Amino acid sequence: DMPVLLSNAKLVEPFEVITELYSLPDPRGLDPNLYMAPFFFVFFGMMLSDAGYGIITSLLAGYALYKFKLAGTGKKFAAMLFLCGISTVIWGAIFGGWFGDLITLKPLWINPLDNPLSVLILSFVMGVVQIYAGIILNAYKNIRAGHVADALMDQGLWLVLLTGLLMFVKPELTSVGKYMAALGAIGLILTQGRAQKSIIKKFTSGVLSLYDITGYLSDVLSYSRLLALGLTTGVIATVINTMAKTVAGNIIGYIVMALIIVGGHVFNLAINVLGAYVHSSRLQYIEFFSKFYDSGGRAFDPLRVKTTYVDLEDI
């Protein structure tokens, strides 16, 4: 097989490390980074969701890029953290998180601790958008390969069914939604068993394909982690600040308070940066890549001389 060398725009290139840690794309498949990078950027910031932590993350990553002259995977990873720190500052400002409640600034939108339901709904909406993007990319992949009928029957009908079901969220759209859902379901029953030989097997396979609805529902529910991790960051930060304030009162108390604030926020930053990275990656690998991504590519390794020792001689 042909080796794979990824080539993306400068803002997308740092996110290649997410794909490389999973698996390089098949040479005949799609490079997912252009489509994955915006989602990872948004999800990471929403999970960490504290502007103060975002500033520190970007500063540390920027310092590493400047000081250590990183290259390859290390450079990409540091650049990715730098960009994700910016995303965290944006979401922190939206949610009003500045080292928890240490710095009191009015949120640009809402505080998740006060109105978690709105943030949960936003999380599900983002999940639906990414899942739709994955299905559409799979359709594009089929069309590019000349399989237009497969794109219509395998991805198009699912989009019709899922869109119809989503319309039930709004009572005024249910009259249209039920017909769309029925059309999509009937279409899937009639087409998903087309590879089978007997009519009974064709029909049975078509009916069983509708079970995938539970998979899509499970995928959407997975995006609740966007709220969960954001709340975790904010709650722990607030607890740290509360603990620190209880010991203030004299010189020793203020010293202890400073130690609690610094040590506590460093710990909270470390575990939640790790959590945001891991769970943002998981959403890409499980919920997004599973819809369209063909992995298994072999990295391009240019021909070069590799030496262990070099002897220099005067001529």
Number of domains in the chain: 1
Q: Domain for residue 303, yes or no?
A: no
Position 314 confidence tier, pLDDT thresholds 50, 70, 90: confident
Stretch 194-216: mean pLDDT: 95
Q: Is pLDDT at 307 greater than 80 in this prediction?
A: no
Q: Is pLDDT at 302 greater than 80 in this prediction?
A: no
Q: Domain for residue 312, yes or no?
A: no
Rounded to the nearest 10°, the torsion over CA 6, 10, 12, 17 is 60
Q: Is pLDDT at 242 greater than 70 in this prediction?
A: yes
Q: Domain for residue 260, yes or no?
A: yes
Q: Is pLDDT at 163 greater than 90 in this prediction?
A: yes
Position 310 confidence tier, pLDDT thresholds 50, 70, 90: confident
φ/ψ of residue 295, rounded to 5 = -95, -170
Average pLDDT over the chain, rounded to whole? 95
Q: Which residues, in sequence order, are bridge partners of residue 24?
A: 297
- Whether 64 and 78 have beta carbons less than 8 Å apart is answered as yes
Q: Domain for residue 73, yes or no?
A: yes
Cα(272)–Cα(189) distance, integer angstroms: 44
Cα(294)–Cα(144) distance, integer angstroms: 14
Cα(265)–Cα(241) distance, integer angstroms: 9
Stretch 7-19: mean pLDDT: 97
Q: Domain for residue 305, yes or no?
A: no
Give the domain extent around 35: 3-293
pLDDT (tens digit per residue) in 186-198 = 999 999 999 999 9
Q: Is pLDDT at 301 greater than 80 in this prediction?
A: no
Q: Domain for residue 257, yes or no?
A: yes
Stretch 14-28: mean pLDDT: 95
Q: Domain for residue 23, yes or no?
A: yes
Give the per-residue pLDDT at 146: 95
What percentage of the chain carries pLDDT values higher than 90?
A: 90
Classify residue 87 as exposed, middle or buried by CB count within 10 Å of its CB (0-12, 13-18, 19+).
buried
Cα(19)–Cα(30) distance, integer angstroms: 12
pLDDT (tens digit per residue) in 74-109 = 999 999 999 999 999 999 999 999 999 999 999 999
Q: Domain for residue 307, yes or no?
A: no
Position 315 confidence tier, pLDDT thresholds 50, 70, 90: low
What percentage of the chain carries pLDDT values higher than 70?
A: 98
Handedness of CA 57, 59, 60, 66 (dihedral sign): positive
